[in-house]
Amino acid sequence: MPSHLPPGICENLPRTLRLHGLRPTKQRLALAQMIFGQGHRHIAAEDLHKEAVHNGLELSLATVYNSLHCFHEAGLLRIIIGEGSKRWFDTNLSDHHHFYLEETRRIIDVPAGQNGAPLISNLPPPPEDMEIAQIDLMIKLRRKAAANSRKAEPK
């Protein structure tokens, strides 16, 4: 199991869920297996619901949303806020940033710097009575336009 997932999370899902304060319902167990059984994932509720239905699970989109939020509140997933109200859930709980690929509407992790530190510097200092709890940075990417379409040809 990759180190960014809680150790042994899929070895005994009912026990893992109970240890995190969650009742291991049939739906939660099935969704947890889909989420954590494939290694590191960024997944939106709508995509997980489609995957679940494709796998023969009969559950509502609301159940998927509720389960994802329960997993997040239990410390098993990280929420990534996208455009508008779009949210992804990330199995990688470490401090890291993301690229959003506009063309495919996918999220991938930004590679970490030396010693695994996130690549961000020159942050403004927080107010005197505050501290930075977390930094979520999403960098939107799109393919470069062809060089000849970006530059007007001289006449």
- Determine, yes or no, domain membership for 102: no
Question: Concatenated DSSP letters for 40-73?
Answer: S-EE-HHHHHHHHHHTT----HHHHHHHHHHHHH
Number of domains in the chain: 1
Q: What is the pTM of this model?
A: 0.77
% of the chain residues with pLDDT over 70: 82
List the domain range (segments joined by +) for residue 67.
Answer: 13-92
Q: How far apart are CA 75 and CA 71, in angstroms?
A: 6
The CATH number linked to 21 is 1.10.10.10
Whether 35 is in a domain gets the answer yes
In a domain, 39, yes or no: yes
**55, part of any domain:** yes
pLDDT digits (tens, 9 = 90+) for 10-68: 778 899 899 999 999 999 999 999 999 888 899 999 999 999 999 999 999 999 999 99
Tell me which of 3 and 38 has the higher pLDDT: 38
